Amino acid sequence: MPTETNTALITDDIVVFGILMGILGLVHYTSNLNNTFVKKFYNVLPPLLLCYFLPGLLNSFDIISGEHSNINTISSNYFLPGCLILFTLNLNLKELWKMRKNAGIMFIAGMIGIVLGGPLAVWIMSWIAPEVVAGETWKGLATLAGSWVGGSANQAALYAIFQPSADLYSSMIAVDVFVAYGWMALLMYGAGKEKSINKFLGADNSDVEALTVRMDNQMKDKARNPETKDLFIMMGITFSCIALAQLISGNIAKYIEVNMPQLAQFSLTSKFFWLIMITTIIGILLSFTKARNYEGAGASKFATVFLYILIASIGMNMNIFSILSNPMLFLVGIIWMSFHALILLITAKILKSPFFFYAVSSMANVGGVASASATAAAFHPALISVGVILAIFGYAIGTYTGYICGILMQLVAPQ
């Protein structure tokens, strides 16, 4: 069979990678400018969205070709597991346990709202407009579940596991941004009405005030300027763990494929599935060792760099013009998010939990580290660490829960 010709204007991966890095640098530089117009622009189009869509535009206009590039394969096999390890490295289960009554239970409630809300939204839409969620649409929605429990890294992991079409995935990115950032805007608006909402919930805010003091002290104790040896040790830990995970995952996938081929329908014969599972477990195990101290030297910052390279490489596979091909998917996202919000509201009312825990637990699920941190900062800068801790926990379980949600959606989706 003849190989399809690459008709893109730029075909050299070295040049393409340089273009992607230039886009990331430009977006991050401009998004931090102290300019009123620029701030308003990025309030409408968040930096994360542009890092997906600018490479997508280049692909859509045949300037570069994601289909014929090896950049996404390299990013998925190195940068994705790398960022999962570095993000989960700082998972503080002890601190999370201290917050179990409020933040812990609220986070779990939000996670349940996402995992069950997806199949519910698909089931409701199958009655209203079955063509919207028919066929393999569940594969794209499964990537959304990964994002809404963990973050972009988990979404990328599930994209590689379920392999939805590029057009479908482009639509999911649009739904993710529109619904998630719209919900985030409502939560941050609610931060300004915190007292009134706490009164409605019957909540006592003294726990949040005590937590503010505790988190402020911890932030001051951990921070340090990294030395060159710290950077090499972090990279050594990360990529040696990836190598180990690659070795183990290949053997597991091959064994299941030979001995239990019927499990292929659950992606259990996929080497990449096991790669993501194993690297996440390794990251959690490392959080119990002295390796977790490298968070103070910038582990999560390296993870964020890896993540954005991955995002740009995924973006170059998108066809931007396909986003409006199924606008009813936005309704699926809104139904899904509404169920998540309702479950959290019921839980907060029962626990009499302060609105801070409602908002941060929700965004730790839906938005990941950046959004959870921004939402926490709307209440008090010292509380950013709470958002980070919960979001890291989301990274640790996001791929697993997103996978379960995807399978549930497959079961209820019309064929």
pLDDT tens for the chain, 415 residues: list them: 344 566 889 989 999 999 999 999 999 999 889 888 888 888 777 787 788 789 988 988 889 988 788 898 888 888 888 888 887 787 766 766 776 777 788 999 999 999 999 999 999 999 998 988 888 889 999 999 988 988 776 887 888 888 888 778 878 887 887 788 778 778 878 887 888 898 898 887 776 766 666 666 655 666 678 889 999 999 999 999 999 999 999 999 899 889 988 776 566 777 877 887 788 789 889 988 988 888 888 887 888 888 889 888 878 877 767 666 678 888 999 999 999 999 999 999 999 988 988 998 998 888 766 677 667 777 876 576 677 677 777 877 888 899 999 999 999 888 7
Backbone angles phi, psi at 6, to 5 degrees: -85, 110
Amino acid at 234: M
At residue 2, the pLDDT reads 41
Q: How far apart are CA 12 and CA 183, in angstroms?
A: 40
At residue 217, the pLDDT reads 66
At residue 339, the pLDDT reads 96
Distance of CA 24 to the CA centre of its chain: 18
At residue 221, the pLDDT reads 64
Here the contacts of 369-372 (C-beta below 8 Å, separation 24 or greater) are: 369/87, 369/151, 369/300, 369/304, 369/395, 370/48, 371/180, 371/184
Q: How far apart are CA 169 and CA 318, in angstroms?
A: 7
At residue 3, the pLDDT reads 47
Q: Is the pTM of this model over 0.75?
A: no
Place of tokens 């709470």: 386
Q: How far apart are CA 386 and CA 43, in angstroms?
A: 24
At residue 179, the pLDDT reads 85
